[in-house]
Amino acid sequence: MTPYLAVFFTALAVSLVLTPLARRLSFRWRIVAEPGGRRRHKGVVPKLGGLPLFAAYLAGIGLTYWLLPPTGQDALRLQGVVLGSLVVFLGGLLDDRLDLPAAPQFLIQIAGAAVAMAHLVFIEVFSNPFPGAALWTRPPLDLFFTLKDNLVWMVPPLALFFTLAWALGMINAVNWLDGLDGLAAGVGTIAALLFAWHSYRLDQMAVAAFPLALAGALLGFLPYNFAPARIFLGTAGAYLLGYNLATLSILSPAKLSTALLVLALPILDGVWRVIDRLRQGRSPLQGDRGHLHFRLQDSGLSTRWIVVGYYGVAIAFGLIAVAFVAAPTTKLLALAVLGVGVLAFLVWFSAHGKVSGVKYQVSSVKTLALPKSYQVSGETDDVTPGTETRDTESRDT
């Protein structure tokens, strides 16, 4: 247990120390978020939260390789997680600085997923969630699936497709979730801790340390990100978190169901937003305040209570996945009940909620005036007048 505590607290300490420095760099480099579009925060907020998060995560991983070096296939797969994390992190930094359109962002996500799959991180087998084998032995499913020892194996092309869809879906679910202060970081912490617990119970010693390092990094960042946030995750932080939740959930049996249950609310909310936008004849990538957390905020609930409520849902269903339910059929039933309940609520709320989804058009480029205490020039810390030009488009991708 001592190595795990060392990994966790090292990542936490590094994140606590580096996050204030990242705030200063955000203002110096003028990588900040201004109020407008979907966001209603007050004042200018730095969005280089991905920097301390990644640095702290790497510190925890480095300690893991020293104290609990991975062996065998785990060594190759964890190497893929690290390299893919670097890809999505650097791509996210580009978006934080340049506000990339949707297509390059998807290419960044696909590149990260490709790195993982090249290192054997892909979904190829899952536990049979149904009693009996009849479903998997009938056409046309028997062309794509093979049942052996109550495990369902997918043909390679289908496995690669599902892995890509899973990685992109998880990255964007976290990106969509990152709409209220502390929401994505807190839910990500809960998921990472549950992943670590689950891997440890399965004697995956090195694998368990990776989500523990991620949880420590997130907990060190959270005091600065909880409402009212002093720094945002930014695209780099959201991509890094989503990518690691996607890949680490693949490395242990039954962690996919854990991830689905912990993140069921934001995943279903994102699916409903896509459906609702298409139903209204809008682009599914057009950002708005139709996401559940935004609508709850617009209805008058405080940000902190909304975020704590999300935490409670994530903990409750995560515990169902890893602690109280062992049977795949029961997990599938829990997912089905949760899915139907959440979608029914979202449909009802869309019809009867106080505030409907609002489409935010791309406005003209605005001049963003930084607070005087943070306006910097050149390479010095001297306070000087200055402005920054940023695009005020609000989008989900």
Which residue bears the tokens 């109550």?
150
* Bridging pattern class, strands 151-154 and 145-148: antiparallel
pLDDT digits (tens, 9 = 90+) for 284-328: 766 667 677 777 777 777 888 889 988 998 898 888 777 655 566
- As given in the structure block, the two tokens for residue 284 are 């599914």
pLDDT at 36: 63
Task: Give percent of the chain with pLDDT exceeding 90.
Answer: 46
Task: Quote the CA–CA distance of 330 and 196 in Å, as a whole number.
Answer: 22
Distance of alpha carbon 38 from the chain centroid: 19
Q: CA gyration radius for the chain? A: 21
pLDDT at 14: 97
pLDDT at 280: 78
DSSP calls for 218-280: HHHHHHHHSSSPSS--HHHHHHHHHHHHHHHTTSSTTHHHHHHHHTHHHHHHHHHHHHHHHHT
In the predicted structure, residue 282 carries a pLDDT above the cut 90: no
Helix runs in the chain, H state only: 2-29, 50-67, 72-98, 102-118, 156-177, 183-201, 205-225, 234-248, 255-262, 264-279, 292-298, 303-319, 328-352
pTM of the entire predicted model: 0.83
Asked if 240 and 85 count as a contact pair (C-beta separation under 8 A), the reply is yes
